[in-house]
Amino acid sequence: MRLRTCLSILTACVLPGHARFDASTVAWYTSPATNFTTTLPIGNGRLGAAIWGTAIENVTLNEDSIWNGSFVNRVNPKSYGALAPVRSMLASGNITTAGEVTLEDMAGIPALPQSYSPLGALRLDFGHARSAIRNYTRSLDLRTGNAVVDYDYQGVTFRREYVASYPDDVIAIRLSTSKAGSLNVVCSLERALFVVEKTASATEGVGTLVLKANSIADQDGPIRFSSQARIMSNGGRIGTNGTSIVVRGASTVDIVFDAETSYRYESERNRDAELEQKLQSAVKSGFAVVKKNAVSDYAALSERVDLDLGSSGMTGRLPTDTRLLNYQHSPDSDPELATLMFHFGRHCLITSSRAKSSPGLPANLQGLWNQDYDPAWGGRFTLDINLEMNYWPAQVTNLAETFTPFIDLMDIIKPRGQDVARSMYHCDNEGYVLHHNTDLWGDAAPVDNGTTWTMWPMGGAWLSANLMEHYRFTQDETVLRERIWPLLQSAAQFYYCYLFPFEGYYSTGPSISPEAAFIVPDTMFKAGSAEGIDIAPTMDNSLLHELFQSVIETCNTLGITGSDLHTAKKYLAKIKPPQIGSAGRILEWRLDYQEQDPGHRHMSPIVGLYPGSQLAPLVNQTLAKAAKAFLDYRIDSGSGSTGWSRTWTMNLYARLFDGDAVWNHTQIYLKKFPSPNLWNTDSGPDTVFQIDGNFAFTSGIAEMLLQSHEVVHLLPALPSAVPAGSVSGLVARGNFMVDMQWSGGVLQQATITSRSGKPLAIRVQDGRQFLVDGGAYLGPIHTRKGEKYTITLSNSRR
């Protein structure tokens, strides 16, 4: 009865029943997870679950506000008096001593803010011997957001469905079987550390598991949380065994789970009341309604965008982990793997960044999913690339709602950063400062103690760019006025105080080019040493240029006059422009220093190319050429060594209109970096998971198809390897929604919907002539909200 079609060097087999798994929108597997980076992630923005699908299931559980502890003021008491001496040393060329004093007198004490922590796990023991399981599949549907495990055991089919509901704010699970009365399961909530209470009870046919715990030891100021699972069965008996719920002889078992923390509900009484309300509501509604609500809500976001980059045929019907292995040897056979990864990035953003509770928290280094009590880099919000990168696809791929938790965190950061600006930098003008890491408390002090990463006071400037992009895409003036402008204004105020005149420009210092080091030249001290701290690195100037431009744009949009507008213009005029070195490349530092690592993973000096636009080809061809020279040099020297770095490269080459380079780096990424469950990794499937590269992959695919700096640019970087395809639902700045089809490497038709009635300027590919609604394009169109405009090529240029 089974037709085996063997493909690939692995002789993987495709079974007829697996044709239901769409190659572009479903990740699926024929075996359980073997480690955390093979689990299936679901979430509702606040609650996360990683599905293992093992014979004894252990669903890894997360809640976004379970971090190690409370806020700690880490400002170094010596920092207030250190700024002027350090600047004097740097200006005189005493680079090494300045760096040593900076780290001694200005780095935070203690060195680190709080870290993200797991909640625990839901353990489900079915009594099934792994060796007797047959016809196993495990899948994650990126259109519904749900995970499913199916298998046969002793002639009976068992199914597990996993749902994370945003509307009901719970995780729900249905266990079912093809044979009435054959479902037995022992359920427990587990956590390894700092458990305060763990109980099981059964009343009137409903089992209740309770797990209360602290994130760290009680005396150290933990986050406290309460969690519960409610278990109901159709048929069978529910009882208890110690701290477990035991179900025997059921046909279906439904489980709903929630957790609440002291971050949002300070008292245990309030936490328990919130739990009770949500769980009672979900139990009353029943699994089918909770699932329907969840799928309807999720699909309303996921289905906004559709993408076709070509068909993979039979290759696309293979299990996802097999496809990843095949791709290493035959990438051209599976274009739908790129489409799947694009959709997976959107799935991760939808499921890790929704503001159901107040305040919301944005996606951290691991999005929402973490099983380690001491995760890599603390699982924090890292600000010298990672948090910003997490939100690159939010606007362009039509997920603006996912950005609300980002703004919520910024509101938390602002008063903390104002305190640090006063106590470290003598700035008492309502400006806030932020360094290269923060946590759920908005910790704004310098983090760790390293010459190439600690002293970077530019976090507020870069996060401000994300804020402004939200307005440019949505055109929501209410959000701009009420939420974004106060943050932009305060960020700028800090720099008005902090910047100092140096060689004719307003300059930063001490500062760094994130995580990169230079060799101190012979004319400075200590010659030959590798240092990171200096005055006015190129990235700082680019971020300041972007910030002051954003302030001016906001003032013009909202009709703000006076000192805010005039001061921004004054400072913008005195920011040093990007410099081009003797080799024709954008310089990384104020001088043409020798790099310690020419192939460094960070692309900081060309942040003005992407995500900024200062170096873009349509803005300044000379700077764009120098940016490309820098990028090529970095890549040729070994850059792109991490997943996030390689995906940043995709976006950078897209901005340079080099579609073939974008696709080359897309294929390199897919060959090397994704884990079996498609999560991004630091340097390969067996290395650390961090989610930023997933988001940058999605934005990179979008960027090659649509750009929108002053002009809606259709197919700006279309690869020759993708001659035909389509995309719908992308968003351009100005709040235009764009659908496109192309064939033979040429645009066939685009439909642009004006969602805010703004002027519409258009460019097609490399400047091809085109028609709008059948007539010649004569310049920017004064659009009307809700109207659609059809773009086709002029016959002479097809």
Q: Which fold has domain 28-67+115-303?
A: Beta-galactosidase; Chain A, domain 5 (2.70.98)
Number of CB atoms found within 10 A of residue 241's CB: 10
Closest by alpha carbon to 240, among 274, 201, 272, 270? Answer: 201
Report the distance separating Cα 734 and Cα 757, nearest Å. 8
Instruction: Return phi, psi of residue 200, to 5°.
Output: -140, 140
Single-letter amino acid code for the residue at 323: R
Domain ranges of the chain: 28-67+115-303, 399-637, 725-793
| Cis-peptide, bond into residue 331, ω within 30° of zero | no
Alpha-carbon dihedral sign for residues 485, 487, 490, 496:
negative
Closest by alpha carbon to 345, among 673, 19, 735, 623? Answer: 673
Q: Is 577 exposed, middle or buried (0-12, 13-18, 19+ CB in 10 A)?
A: middle
Report the distance separating Cα 784 and Cα 782, nearest Å. 7
What are the tens digits of pLDDT across the range 202-237?
999 999 999 999 999 998 999 999 999 999 999 999
Report the distance separating Cα 103 and Cα 674, nearest Å. 36
Q: Given a cut of 80, is residue 102 above it in pLDDT? A: yes
Dihedral angle, C-alpha 24, 28, 34, 38, nearest 10 °? 20
What are the tens digits of pLDDT across the range 499-547?
999 999 999 999 999 999 999 999 999 999 999 999 999 999 999 999 9
Mean pLDDT computed over every residue of the chain: 96
Domain spanning 725-793, CATH class: mainly beta
> H helices within 559-620, ranges in order?
563-572
Residues composing the chain: 798
> pTM here?
0.97
The answer to whether the beta carbons of residues 66 and 379 sit under 8 Å apart is: no
Instruction: Return phi, psi of residue 741, to 5°.
Output: -130, 140
| Residue 19 binned pLDDT confidence (cut-offs 50, 70, 90) | low
Tokens 């992009």: give the residue. Answer: 469
Q: Are strands 47-51 and 40-43 parallel, antiparallel or unpaired?
A: antiparallel
What are the tens digits of pLDDT across the range 361-385?
999 999 999 999 999 999 999 999 9
**Separation of first and last alpha carbons in the chain:** 50
Q: Which residues contact 708 (CB under 8 A, 6 or more apart)?
A: 732, 733, 734, 736
Q: Given a cut of 80, is residue 60 above it in pLDDT? A: yes
What are the tens digits of pLDDT across the range 669-725?
999 999 999 999 999 999 999 999 999 999 999 999 999 999 999 999 999 999 999
What angle do helix axes 320-327 and 659-672 make, rounded to 10 degrees? 120
What the block records as the tokens of 348 is 């991760």
What the block records as the tokens of 379 is 């699982």
Mean pLDDT over residues 416-429, rounded?
98
Number of CB atoms found within 10 A of residue 749's CB: 14
Tokens 């009635």: give the residue. Answer: 757
61 to each of 49, 171, 281, 578, how far by Cα in Å? 5, 10, 21, 46
Number of CB atoms found within 10 A of residue 523's CB: 8
Q: Given a cut of 70, is residue 3 above it in pLDDT? A: no
Report the distance separating Cα 536 and Cα 500, nearest Å. 10
The CATH code for residues 399-637 is 1.50.10.10
SS3 403: helix
> H helices within 365-439, ranges in order?
386-390, 392-396, 404-425
Helix (H) or strand (E) holding 705: helix 692-705
Quote the pLDDT of residue 762. Answer: 99
What are the tens digits of pLDDT across the range 616-626?
999 999 999 99
For 187-207, letters b (16+ CB in 10 Å) and e give bbbbbeebeeebebebeeeeb
